Structure 1
Amino acid sequence: MPRFAILAIGAFDYLLNKTGNMLIRYRPKEVVAVIDPEKSGKTADEIIGIGGSLPVVASFQDAEKYQPDTLVIGSAPPGGVIDDQTRKELLAAIDAGCHIISGMHVFLSDDDELQDRAMQKNISITDLRRPPSPPHFPKGTWQDRQVPVLLVVGTDCDSGKMTTAWEITQRLRSHGKKVNFIGTGQTGILLGGSGVAVDAVVADFMAGEMEYLIDKACDGADLVVVEGQGSINNYAYSGVTMGLLHGCMPEFLVMSHDPIRHMDVLDCPLPDIKDLIQIHLDLMKPFRDTRFLGMNLLTFTLSEQDAVDTIKEYERKYNLPATDLVRFGDRELINAIATVLR
């Protein structure tokens, strides 16, 4: 079992430390410390509400007493550039014999100083976002596929798509279903152990990479669950969303949404979810019939009663089962998915 220290300099909060937080939530026994000098002396639970007494320390040197063997970059520095402080911590970890796992757009294994030091210490630097080489071009194997695919889509970036996909996977497995998960971002890849950072793939090959991964994941599975990226209505990332949609050719979709959000991350109004559902169905119409099985809502900012009322409101309004999987568990959403697999 690995022993992760999470590097989150000035970024250990609920949103910025996305990769680190998911490790804390879903692989808590493997995380031994968080490095953030701005919040050192506190616990993870005090800052993000999960993680219990997991310590937050000021530097890798302070983390060494917890015996980490792998340093994970939990959040990307602004602009994806390795600043002096980050480099110092990375070198300290390498010198101590720690492997490095990075989800940054800049590949650490291409950094001469870091790579040379890593080779001297015989440790690995893993860039989760490095695309496959050679790339894969789509062959249309979805037309003969026997195992259904469920793609999680969202109303915006940072709307819980990875969490939704992982929760669905774990909960269906607990119901006895054979479910394989494909990560499409660094966090999903790290959690699930397979996948591709689809936004790092040359656009012509996005669909092909997804088709290739799905073909492999179908072996022995009842369902393949794919983590979504971006949103079809966010002009900065819709190209990635479209590549995923047509690469997966999913039989089923689940929508992830933050119910208090009315503007997207680019300050554009969010469309009505009913319209957004129809857009996805229309985009799939030339190829196959696709259906939405339900919705997962991020209600962590709402009181428990407001969250329950909101979930019921969305179920009535959109005629789909809804829940907050993290907060309230399966409700009807997991049953709705399990039913179509029988």
Structure 2
Amino acid sequence: MDKLGRIAVLADDEIVPEPSKTLVAILRYRSDRVVAVIDRTTAGKEAATVAGFPGELGIPVVPDVRAALDAHRPDAVLLADEPVGAALQSYWRDQVRVALEAGVDVVSGLHFLISDDPELSAVARRTGAKIHDLRKPPAEKYLTPFDAEGRPVLHFRDHRPGSRTVLAVGTDCSSGKMTTMLELERALREGGTDASFLATGQVGMMISGGGVAVDGLISDFLNSTVEDVVFHATQEHDVVLVEGQGALNHPRYSAVTLGLLHGTRPDAMVLCHDLRRTGLGLLPGVALPSMRRAIEINEQAARWADPERAPRVAGLSVVTAGLDDGEARAALRRLTDETGLPATDVLRYGVDALLPVVLPGLVGSVS
């Protein structure tokens, strides 16, 4: 998928009134590859403008896949749909078929696997188009060796000495974990550090071209699959920045979060939080924990799998959208005073405050 150089993003009905997280992320981090955005409602406008970006990117919005194919010749159509369930709405299915009939690849992060659809997969075979289902379970990862007692083996191999593994954790889902790791990767690379972002979700995979969608794994193999990909990443890079998923305190997503935490065995964690929220995403009646409590539960859970090193939360990445500059800076200072940890809004103020704690590794939170 990383070889796809010209991408049309299918975002129909996913821009107004609020653009999808997938669209925003692709425009922010892969705009160099996007040749068009597809949406009937905002066709004729500029993509960054309708997505709420401060400036233009020169990417047009067109009404349908056919218009994108005729005018912009994409290598692939990427789906920016984010349903909670596993369905593919009929209009999107028709648009996917148009792309496949033209021999153009389709990239999907849906739980609905397009490659399992008999009709669409038959079209792809006939035209030579490829279907990239990012949430398709990697069956080869399930061939876990068995020990003498007949139990699956989780190796927990030591990461390469001198390498650092940093995991983003959060107080909620969609709280900036992917963005934080991508911004850290960019800053570290610009400073000459061999850093690598490791995607664990479909949007991160669309951006980086690799990784594994952990919420598509069979739960028994989540920890071992993550352990394997992180281990190999540390063999090749000095700093491995692992995208987090969900939150330990979120009743819907805690399982994948804990498996990712134990499989990663990080040297340090960055806790991500959105100041606009008082309740959990999709469960607004459930209150968020305090920052100190969120730090405590993540550090405790990390120690269950790694008691000798006892990984710590080393810094805070905080979304301050909706606050003016003075209010945002004051909120960050309060959080630093409360926790003893550096805090920043990575999109608003950059990641400089986090670099000193990411690079050295283990930095403890307040007791």
TM-score (norm 2): 0.88
Residues 7-26 of structure 1, C-alpha deviations (whole Å, 9 max, x = no match): 11211259652222211101
Residues 238 and 222 (structure 1), Cα distance of their counterparts in 2 relative to 1, 3 Å cut: same
Residues 173-207 of structure 1, C-alpha deviations (whole Å, 9 max, x = no match): 11111122211100111222221111111111110
Equivalent residue for 1:334?
355
Instruction: Note if contact 1:36-1:57 (Cα within 8 Å) is conserved in structure 2.
Output: yes
Amino acid across the alignment from 1:302: L
Amino acid across the alignment from 2:252: A
Equivalent residue for 1:181?
197
Residues 210 and 52 (structure 1), Cα distance of their counterparts in 2 relative to 1, 3 Å cut: same
Amino acid across the alignment from 1:220: E
Match of 2:164 among 148, 152, 164: 148
Instruction: Note if contact 1:5-1:35 (Cα within 8 Å) is conserved in structure 2.
Output: yes
Match of 1:22 among 25, 28, 33: 25
How many residues align structurally?
Answer: 341
Match of 1:270 among 288, 299, 323: 288
Q: Which sections of structure 1, spanning at least 5 residues, go unmatched? A: none
Amino acid across the alignment from 2:177: K
Distance between the aligned counterparts of 2:300 and 2:361, measured in 1? 22
User: Are positions 1:82 and 2:88 aligned together?
Assistant: yes
Instruction: Note if contact 1:14-1:48 (Cα within 8 Å) is conserved in structure 2.
Output: no
Offset, 1:306: 2.3
How do 1:74-113 and structure 2 match up within 5 A? 74-77=80-83, 79-113=85-119
Offset, 1:301: 2.6
User: Are positions 1:60 and 2:76 aligned together?
Assistant: no
Distance between the aligned counterparts of 1:335 and 1:144, measured in 2? 21
Give percent identity, aligned residues only.
Answer: 35
Distance between the aligned counterparts of 1:236 and 1:216, measured in 2? 30
User: Are positions 1:253 and 2:269 aligned together?
Assistant: yes
Offset, 1:165: 1.3
User: Are positions 1:3 and 2:6 aligned together?
Assistant: yes
Equivalent residue for 1:40?
43
Residues 160-179 of structure 1, C-alpha deviations (whole Å, 9 max, x = no match): 11111111122111111112
Equivalent residue for 1:300?
321
Instruction: Note if contact 1:71-1:99 (Cα within 8 Å) is conserved in structure 2.
Output: yes
TM-score (norm 1): 0.94
Q: Which sections of structure 2, spanning at least 5 residues, go unmatched? A: 145-151, 363-367
Match of 1:228 among 217, 226, 244: 244
Equivalent residue for 2:121?
115
After superposing the two structures, state which structure 1 stretch, 15-24 or 189-198, moved more: 15-24
Instruction: Note if contact 2:160-2:235 (Cα within 8 Å) is conserved in structure 1.
Output: no
User: Are positions 1:309 and 2:330 aligned together?
Assistant: yes
Residues 138 and 24 (structure 1), Cα distance of their counterparts in 2 relative to 1, 3 Å cut: farther
Amino acid across the alignment from 2:248: I
Offset, 1:60: 1.1
Distance between the aligned counterparts of 1:138 and 1:313, measured in 2? 45
